[in-house]
Amino acid sequence: MPPPRRPTQRDIAELAGVSITTVSHVVNGTRQVAPETRAAVLDAVARTGYTSDVIARSLVTGGTRTIGVAISLLANPYFATLIQAIEREAAQAGYTVLLSDTHDTVGTEQDIVRALRARRVEGLLLTPVPGDASVLSELEAVGTPTVLVDRLSPRSHHDQVGAENIQATSALTQHLAAHGHRRIGLVSGAPGLATSDERTLGYRLGLGRAGLPWNPELVACGDSERRRGGEALGRLLDLPDPVTAVVVANDAMMVGVLHEARRRYLRIGTDLAVTGYDDPEWAELVEPPLTTMAQPVAEIGRAAVRLLLNRLRDPDREPETVRLAPTLRHRQSCGCPPPLP
């Protein structure tokens, strides 16, 4: 038997009783069509399983209406919310999204970026891997419109959007100092990440504003990982003069911190004050609930798509950096009493 034939726009037109031109306008969104006509075409599309040939259409229109997204899903648990926001914003503008996981390694990121370019994406949203200067240089050299997301660089020639890290982490540190803590530790993220550097700088700034000295022995690297986060807290607690409070630079390390505190039979908020950056769904469910800085993750995703679409419309405009402020979720892990009912 001959293989089944792929349905065409002519098939859709005959089934819906309209012209091929009308089918094209409905499928590609190139012109308004009467609601009843549009419904008939979409019904025919659903019945036949028709899909448009994106690559063929790109040869005619010069664009695929597709955005590539390259991020590390493993290193960023909250990126499910980010991706959802990106897809919704892109869909409203008539774009589809191709998502790839970089695994936070330069080699994988380079392969993925090249594969997305081969798929003729019109632009790229990228959470850069530490040490990926060659990847960014290549994107700039070939002229691929790119927006950096979450991990920003003051030296980037690309549009970029992410949360404000320095003032937010400073505020967490000052909050702990205001409650009388003088030995405030930091469980910092993976070295080489812009977010890690900025949150460490914010911690130092908060100490200075509180009149406390900078002490490098109070900073322990948790490498942005759960297990290493717990080990980092252990090092801070094993000091001759241990910390009484700690700022944790992301939610993955916070899990390790809570496990290590439990292993040592420490009461969070009483024996050890804890604040964090990121606000996972479970932050309100642990006991006591966590005081955190909540990133505007969905807003970051929407802003990233808008920046990319602006770049596609105006390729020669100056690169733009957007910083969105986190929101303090004031709960009880910092030692504060619960709010009044």
pLDDT at 305: 97
Q: Which residue has the higher pLDDT, 82 or 153?
A: 82
Tokens of 319: 């690169």
Share above pLDDT 90 across residues of the chain, in percent, rounded to a whole number: 59
- Is the pLDDT at 77 greater than 80, yes or no? no
Nearest Cα to Cα of residue 113 among 91, 128, 96 = 128
Ramachandran bin of 172, using left for φ above 0, alpha for ψ from -120 to 50, beta for the remaining angles: alpha
CB proximity list for 143: less than 8 A, separation 6 or greater: 315
pLDDT at 111: 92
Dump pLDDT digits (tens) for 131-156: 778 888 888 888 899 999 998 877 77
Ramachandran bin of 317, using left for φ above 0, alpha for ψ from -120 to 50, beta for the remaining angles: beta
User: What's the CA gap between 186 and 193, in Å, rounded?
Assistant: 16
The model carries a pTM of 0.79
Average pLDDT over residues 204-220: 97
Split at pLDDT 50, 70, 90, the class of 31 is confident
Mean pLDDT of the chain: 89
pLDDT at 55: 46
Average pLDDT over residues 65-69: 92
pLDDT at 51: 63
Average pLDDT over residues 233-262: 97
Split at pLDDT 50, 70, 90, the class of 74 is low
**Tokens 């769904």 -> residue:** 281
CB proximity list for 58: less than 8 A, separation 6 or greater: 64, 120
Cβ distance 229 to 254 under 8 Å?
yes
- Is the pLDDT at 91 greater than 80, yes or no? yes
Dump pLDDT digits (tens) for 101-121: 888 888 899 999 999 988 889
pLDDT at 29: 67
Q: Which residue has the higher pLDDT, 208 or 83?
A: 208
Dump pLDDT digits (tens) for 148-190: 999 887 777 899 999 999 999 999 999 999 999 999 999 999 8
**Tokens 């970026």 -> residue:** 113
